[in-house]
Homo-oligomer: A and B are copies of this chain.
Amino acid sequence: MDIATLRERHPDHWMRSTAIRVLALDAVAAANSGHSGMPMGMADIATVLWSKHLKFDAKAPGWPDRDRFIISNGHGSMLLYALLHLTGYEDMTLDELKNFRQWGAKTAGHPEHEYASGIDTTTGPLGQGLATSVGMAIAEESLRARFGKKVIDHHTYVFAGDGCLMEGVSHEAIALAGHQKLSHLILFFDNNGISIDGEISKTDSTDQPKRFEACGWHVQSIDGHDPEAIDAAIEAAKKSGKPSMIDCKTHIALGSSAQDTGKGHGALTDEKLIKDTREAYGWSHGPFDIPADIKSWWEEVGRRGADERAAWNERLDDLAGGKRKQFDAAMERTLPNKLTSTIRNLKKQISEDQPKDATRKSSENVLKAVNPVVKEMLGGSADLTGSNNTLTPDLGVFSPEDRAGRYIHYGIREHGMAAAMNGMALHGGIRPYGGTFMCFSDYARPAMRLSALMGAPVTYVMTHDSIGLGEDGPTHQPVEHLAMLRATPNMQVIRPCDGVETAEAWEVALRNTDVPTVLVLTRQGLPTLRTKHQSKNLVEQGAYILAEADAKRQAVLIASGSEVSVAMEAKALLEEKGIGARVVSIPSFELFAKADESYRRRVLPAGAVRVGIEAAARLGWDRWLTGERGRDAKAAFVGMDSFGASAPAEVLFEKFGITADNVVAQVENLL
């Protein structure tokens, strides 16, 4: 539908949708940066969706039963900001739009979750919004099963462009959604035929509708500017019983001289272009000037859900038994009091029994104790259930037939799993965890980074954390991954050394609700080192003195995970030689870095030589070895400076020199 037809047939709709378009043009022009074309192309869809379908109340952005709205093509952020402003979200003032992409503004270049209300997730890295939305739709199904349709019954709407659908993660997301028959998930494909390099015909020939059908989706193709077609398609999508993809033929940068071009993707800042476009739109108002009638119509849209929300509040109050309390606890991420004693009892038991479990097995034991207590736990694995030890007997399997199941067989989809977990955590009411081999954190990287950027409390269960994986060889043996994860801001990486530390690590993961946690766990069995029960959570401090020197302290051995027992062996050998050695267990660099400086100096005093031991790259260790300000200590590192190899684990530790004997040699060399 061209502009003339649209203006003639739907004059009111036209001016309302064009309010979005001109705000996008104005904000991008003011910033001299941004993306004008997507908002101009998708404004019609957004106007119909928000005014006729989207369940929301601008005055209550956190309403748990609201529909979720995600622009996976996040560069079109001004579309979202314009909608939030027009419908009356209080923090999205006109000044914020004028400050688009400036320091301190809520209107970042791409939508950043928690910068402003109404931003359901951070998007920008393409495909992430779509994959995250699958998790939101799973969360919705799961919570409906738990609390009932009266309080959980909403939809997740996603906008996505060609870029999102070209990214590989889109396949994982689409296939997972189709398999799980997530019928409350509706995707609008912004089929404008353009990407940054120009016409899509340069890069892609995929028949997207057919592709989605192959993955079990309901599919429609419409004119993405025709309000009646958009409305009808949404109605049909809701009734389809499947995830639904609406293939919307749109014009990027509609009505401008850059329409349908690669240029239209980016920042349209040319004065004449903007002037001409306003004329083509029949929009006579100045920059950032929205006529009162249009603004008030949009504000009415923003209030549309108020009654529904009031009714919902009543239904919530009517929830029987303890359900209301459970609902609030789930949404507020409040943990049951019982968790404290659950963890403490488990630790005590381990200290007494002193098993030689792999920490992945220890993690399973924690989950066996925690999952029945914390009903928000929703676990899964990327097709390594038996290896990641992520399934506990009480959970049941989430499927179209059993939405009450609390375990997801994600398939071989690490990236899709991570993004879906982000969606669950952001949706609220769910504490997701999921497993894969540590080495395949590579596949999940883009979504894991978003967990950290958004502070989404997702727990990654990364097992087979070193050459200790053994025969599968270097493709499966992480070397650089600890450094990669530790370098990521706002990510809590914990590599426990035994069952007790594993229990403490899980407790830290669950109690810290504003960061993701990566649990780095072994394949191979490890001795219990924390043999004296302490109720205090020592992992919380990041590092601590596991064993003090017996003879005069000349060395400090610092190790994490499976190498802590190597340090303990080395200590015994050193003490035999009259060299006193302290062993420091350092399960988490990040937590230790957060501890008081005085505590850190107490744990790692100047003077004694230091040896770090970790079956991984040295990068990142020097801070603790040579001292934070330098000049603290002479130091060495026992770890990996190459990729691993294929052989039994014990052979590999020997061949790569990660042994107590080598630690002793390093100490003697430094003294």
A contact set with B: CB distance below 8 Å = 31, 33-34, 74-75, 101-105, 108-110, 112, 122-126, 162-164, 166-172, 175, 178-179, 195-198, 202-208, 210-211, 213-216, 381, 383-387, 397, 399, 409-413, 415-416, 439-440, 442-443, 445-446, 449-450, 452-453, 470-476, 479-480, 483-484, 486-490, 610, 617-620, 622-623, 625-627, 629-635, 640-643, 645-648, 651-652, 655
Contact = CB atoms under 8 A, between A and B. Distances in A.
B204 A411 contact: yes
B475 A413 contact: no
B108 A415 contact: no
Given A103-B645, A109-B471, A168 B166 contact: no
Nearest to A655: B103
25 contacts: A101-B646, A108-B473, A109-B476, A110-B646, A112-B473, A124-B475, A167-B172, A171-B171, A178-B206, A179-B206, A195-B383, A195-B412, A202-B399, A203-B383, A205-B215, A442-B446, A443-B446, A480-B489, A487-B620, A489-B642, A618-B623, A619-B623, A622-B625, A625-B630, A630-B630
Nearest to A105: B646
Contacts of A488: 479-480, 617
Given A442-B445, A483-B619, A626-B631, A476 B197 contact: no
Contacts of A443: 125, 167-168, 445-446
A632 B442 CA distance: 35
Given A102-B647, A166-B411, A206-B216, 6 more contacts: A33-B471, A125-B442, A163-B412, A166-B172, A168-B170, A483-B483
B415 A641 contact: no
A439 B125 CA distance: 9
Contacts of A484: 480, 483-484, 487
Contact of A167 (B413, B640, B648): B413
Nearest to A410: B203
Q: Which of A75, A197, A215, A442 is the most central at the interface, judged by chain B CB atoms within 10 Å of its CB?
A: A197
A109 B473 contact: yes
Contacts of A442: 125, 445-446, 449
Contact of A622 (B175, B487, B622, B633): B622
Nearest to A646: B108
A412 B162 contact: yes
A168 B179 contact: no
Nearest to A168: B168
Nearest to A439: B125
Contacts of A215: 205-207, 211
A655 B105 CA distance: 14
Contact of A479 (B170, B415, B489): B489
A610 B440 CA distance: 37
A211 B647 CA distance: 39
Contact of A124 (B202, B472, B652): B472
A209 to B, nearest CB: 8
A317 B386 CA distance: 56
B381 A617 contact: no
Contacts of A627: 626, 630
A61 to B, nearest CB: 21
B471 A480 contact: no
A34 B535 CA distance: 42
Contact of A412 (B103, B166, B471, B620): B166
Contacts of A31: 471
A452, A471, A642, A646 interface centre (most CB from chain B within 10 Å) = A646
Contacts of A610: 630
A607 B131 CA distance: 52
Given A179-B204, A196-B386, A489 B171 contact: no
Given A214-B214, A409-B203, A476-B110, A101 B490 contact: no
Nearest to A448: B442
Which one of A397, A483, A486 has the highest number of Cβ atoms from chain B below 10 Å of its Cβ?
Answer: A483
A195 B179 CA distance: 15
A634 B630 contact: yes
Nearest to A267: B471
| Nearest 4 Cβ contacts at the A-B interface | A168-B168, A626-B630, A203-B411, A622-B622
Contacts of A446: 440, 442-443
A480 to B, nearest CB: 4
Contacts of A409: 197-198, 202-203
A482 B384 CA distance: 30
Contacts of A211: 211, 214-215
Nearest to A474: B453
A170 B170 CA distance: 11
Nearest to A441: B445
A102 B171 CA distance: 37
A638 B461 CA distance: 33
Contacts of A172: 166-168
A617 B110 CA distance: 22
Contacts of A103: 645-648, 651-652, 655
Contacts of A196: 383-387
A105 B215 CA distance: 42
Contacts of A439: 125
Nearest to A179: B205
A26 to B, nearest CB: 16
A433 to B, nearest CB: 16
